[in-house]
Amino acid sequence: MNILKGKIKTIKSSGSLSLVTIDIQGIFFSTIILETPSTASYLIPENQIKVIFKETEVIIGKDIEHAISIQNKIAGKILEIKKGDLLSKLTIETRIGRLIAVITSDILYQLQLEINENIIAMVKTTEIMLSE
Amino acid sequence: MDWEPLLLTFKLALVTTLLLLVISIPLAYWLAYTKSRIKPVLETLVSMPLVLPPTVLGFYLLIAFSPSNTFGNWLNEYFGLQLIFSFEGLVIASILYSLPFMVHPIQAGFSNLSSTIIEASYVLGKSKIITLFKVLLPNIKPSLLTGIVLAFAHTIGEFGVVLMIGGNMPGKTKVASIAIYDEVESLNYDAANWYSLILFIITFSILLIVYLVNGGYLKRFWK
Amino acid sequence: MIHIALQKKLTAANGTMLLDININIEQGKLVTLYGESGAGKTSIFRIIAGLLHADKGIITVHQNTWLDTDKGICLKPQQRKIGFVFQEYALFPNMTVKENLLFALEKGQDRQIIKELIDIIELGELQNRKPKNLSGGQKQRVALARAMVRKPEILMLDEPLSALDTKMRAKLQDYILKIHKQFNLTTLLISHEIGEVIKMSDHIFSIKNGKVVKQGKPIDVFSTKQVSGKFQFSGEIIEIKKEDVIYVITILIGANFVKIVADETEAQTMAIGDKVIVASKAFNPLLQKIN
């Protein structure tokens, strides 16, 4: 699990859904959740909150910056690579902390990812959970 | 052969056992469940007849019951009870002498019962007395049987206490064990042999029945 | 309303412990005392039942005082209208199932209740058997029925299902809930099975070292962190297996197994037997109709 600490910035609700923006040391992450301020007591702007997502949900981008439907992006540097038969684990250093990403070993070779390489780590808004 | 000593022996054993049962159930119940500090003292007293020479017990009872003594005199004056050289005296002495044989199995039976079934009965609103008769006693039948039989058999076998306090009065205190001694003294081995053989067979049968029943061999008869 | 305030010094395996609780229980609710063994749950039960004396305390049940140490009031167990189901069943071995129930009748009470209970708890076929000829689950059903004969004001269940297998347990939970609703009882349950607690209780008191450390609705008590995942279950870890660079953790939720992928750093903090919450975003699970 990747856990980042941040502060709730904005909450946009519609029906029972909310789009929450969290400020993590100046980087903004968004998440869509099936809660509203009336059902979840922690949904208050400026509230300290933990942003949680699984390492298997982290997407790695390299080189070219093209338009992509993923809101949450953070630049980082690969610190460590642990290669497995099918899956590989990357430890990524970013300005908001270390992240772990588990990707297939195939794509690791295809992208020729190496230690110290600069990459972009991305997480879909629907994959992020919040916790007090 | 004179049957009187044998009949007297069984009469004594029967009366003693019945009275012992009545005394031992509350006593064993108290010993099994009390947290009192005097419990060890009482347990020791109950067990004393196991190790004390019967003559010691008989001697002290003889002193205590003697009409020349305050206690004996008091008994005689207020109850008209003459406890030495009498059947009543024998019964009291036998009760004391066989007490551990009745109390110990019953106490062990109580202690082995799970305390939760007692508590279960209490929370169902049942008093201690109802719990004792409906729950506890029916569940320690084998212990009760053991106690009854051991006390009965032990009373049949007593000699020292009886001799001390009862003496050798035909029809009153001359029980089988005394009679055997008597016959041997007068070199009447034939009669001594008959008494001995009968006692042997009867006590053997009684004990055999206990082991059969408690071992579950005769379950059909004890339900 | 039931008010229970108790203090008692208990001697536990590791020294003395002060039992000190002050709780209110609403009538008609099923309330669970949850906590590790040795936390003092059973002692609380025994004090409520009058089987154990408190050093200091007050117990009032619907305006009746059962215990008030300051005023010297302490009702005997016989005078407190409770149904108590013990962990080890505590059936009377000398009586048949039916006799066990009949024994519980109060003087002059209508025997109809016995018939009713035999029907509800489905003991018809067992009624002439002795306890030693019953399975664990059957014994506990009899114990439950017996506890109900007096129509108690409080039904207390001390880890009633801990000796039973999962399937039997689920069945008995249903019997207990049925009885609880049908007789409009106030029921106190001791359990350390999170799944069971969540399924059964309206309210939980989490007990640790003789004190209430947390209370509330089951889901609030057990989701230590309020996670926004809408897809949440509690379960127990059955297996932890390293596969490739990740770990696969098998978790028993109710009667179902699920497998969850975890990272090494998480897997290291977990052990087989740990209770965990499995949470996911409501966006991820797929739904497929089965016919």
Nearest CA in chain A to C245: A84
**Count of A–C CB contacts within 8 Å?**
62
Lookup: tokens for C168? 């039997």
A50, A87, A128: residue with CB nearest C245: A87
Contacts with C284 from chain A: Cβ below 8 Å:
126-127
C130 Cα to chain B: minimum distance (Å): 12
A14 Cα to chain C: minimum distance (Å): 16
Parallel, antiparallel, or unpaired: how do β-strands C246-253 and C73-74 relate?
Answer: unpaired
CB contact under 8 A, C246 and A89: yes
C220 Cα to chain A: minimum distance (Å): 12
* Whether the predicted pLDDT of B15 surpasses 80: yes
CB contact under 8 A, C225 and A50: yes
* Whether the predicted pLDDT of B61 surpasses 90: no
A32, A87, A130: residue with CB nearest C246: A87
CA distance C148 to C151: 5
Helices B87-112 and B39-51, axial angle in degrees (round to 10): 120
C225, C244, C283: residue with CB nearest A84: C244
User: What residue spans define the domains of chain B?
Assistant: 4-222
What was the pLDDT predicted at C229? 61
Lookup: tokens for A132? 């007090």
* Whether the predicted pLDDT of C84 surpasses 90: yes
C229 Cα to chain A: minimum distance (Å): 6
Parallel, antiparallel, or unpaired: how do β-strands A2-14 and A48-53 relate?
Answer: antiparallel
Lookup: tokens for A65? 């910056």
Least confident of B138-142, B155-159, C252-256, C267-271: C252-256
Contacts with B137 from chain C: Cβ below 8 Å:
none
CA distances in angstroms from B105 to A98, A101, B141, B191, listed in the order given:
73, 73, 10, 36
What is the rounded end-to-end Cα distance, in angstroms, of chain A? 15
Contacts with A132 from chain C: Cβ below 8 Å:
225-226
C225, C263, C265: residue with CB nearest A132: C225
For range C1-10, the mean pLDDT: 92
- Whether C123 and C73 have beta carbons less than 8 Å apart is answered as no
Nearest CA in chain A to C264: A1
Q: Give the DSSP H or E segment for C179.
A: helix C166-182
Tokens 């004792």 -> residue: B132
Least confident of C150-159, C164-173, C178-187: C164-173
User: What residue spans define the domains of chain A?
Assistant: 2-131
CA distance C19 to C39: 9
* Whether the predicted pLDDT of C14 surpasses 50: yes
At B222, the pLDDT band (50, 70, 90 cuts) reads: very low
Q: Give the DSSP H or E segment for C68.
A: strand C64-68
Contacts with A40 from chain C: Cβ below 8 Å:
226, 228
Residues of chain A with pLDDT under 50: none
Q: Do chains C and B touch (3 or more CB pairs under 8 A)?
A: yes
Nearest CA in chain B to C101: B124
Domains of chain C (ranges, CATH numbers): 2-222 (3.40.50.300), 231-289 (2.40.50.100)
pLDDT tens, position by position, C47-81: 999 999 999 999 999 889 999 999 999 999 999 99
Contacts with A54 from chain C: Cβ below 8 Å:
261
* Whether the predicted pLDDT of B217 surpasses 80: no
Contacts with A89 from chain C: Cβ below 8 Å:
245-246, 263
For range B106-120, the mean pLDDT: 93
C262, C266, C279: residue with CB nearest A129: C279
DSSP secondary structure code for residue C126 in this structure? G
Question: What's the CATH class of domain A2-131?
Answer: mainly beta
What was the pLDDT predicted at C30? 94
What is the rounded end-to-end Cα distance, in angstroms, of chain C? 47
Specify burial of residue A88 (Cβ count, 10 A radius: 0-12, 13-18, 19+).
buried
Specify burial of residue B176 (Cβ count, 10 A radius: 0-12, 13-18, 19+).
buried
CB contact under 8 A, C226 and A41: yes
Q: What is the ipTM of this complex?
A: 0.78
pLDDT tens, position by position, C101-146: 999 999 888 899 999 999 988 899 999 999 999 998 899 999 999 9
Rg (CA), chain C: 21
C228, C244, C261: residue with CB nearest A33: C228
Chains sharing 3 or more CB pairs under 8 A with chain A: C
Q: Where are the alpha helices (DSSP H) in chain B?
A: 4-33, 39-51, 54-65, 70-79, 87-112, 115-123, 128-130, 137-139, 141-157, 160-166, 176-185, 189-214
What was the pLDDT predicted at B14? 93
Lookup: tokens for C180? 């609880």
Chains sharing 3 or more CB pairs under 8 A with chain C: A, B
At B79, the pLDDT band (50, 70, 90 cuts) reads: confident
Contacts with C245 from chain A: Cβ below 8 Å:
82-84, 87-89, 102
CB contact under 8 A, C226 and A1: no
**C61 contacts: CB under 8 Å, gap ≥ 6:** C2, C80, C153, C154
C284 Cα to chain A: minimum distance (Å): 8
Q: What is the DSSP string of C133-172?
A: GS-HHHHHHHHHHHHHTT--SEEEEESTTTTS-HHHHHHH
CB contact under 8 A, A82 and C245: yes
Nearest CA in chain A to C267: A1
C50, C80, C88: residue with CB nearest B116: C88
CB contact under 8 A, B124 and C103: yes
CB contact under 8 A, A34 and C282: yes
Q: Which fold has domain B4-222?
A: MetI-like fold (1.10.3720)
CB contact under 8 A, C261 and A83: no
What was the pLDDT predicted at A11? 93
At B219, the pLDDT band (50, 70, 90 cuts) reads: low
> What's the half-sphere exposure (Cβ side, CA atoms, 13 Å) at C243?
12
What was the pLDDT predicted at C55? 93
What was the pLDDT predicted at B223? 44
pLDDT tens, position by position, C203-235: 999 999 889 998 888 777 776 555 666 677 888
CB contact under 8 A, C84 and B134: no
Report the side by side order of strands in the sheet with A72-83.
A59-61, A118-123, A72-83, A87-94, A97-104
CB contact under 8 A, C77 and B139: no
For range B67-82, the mean pLDDT: 80
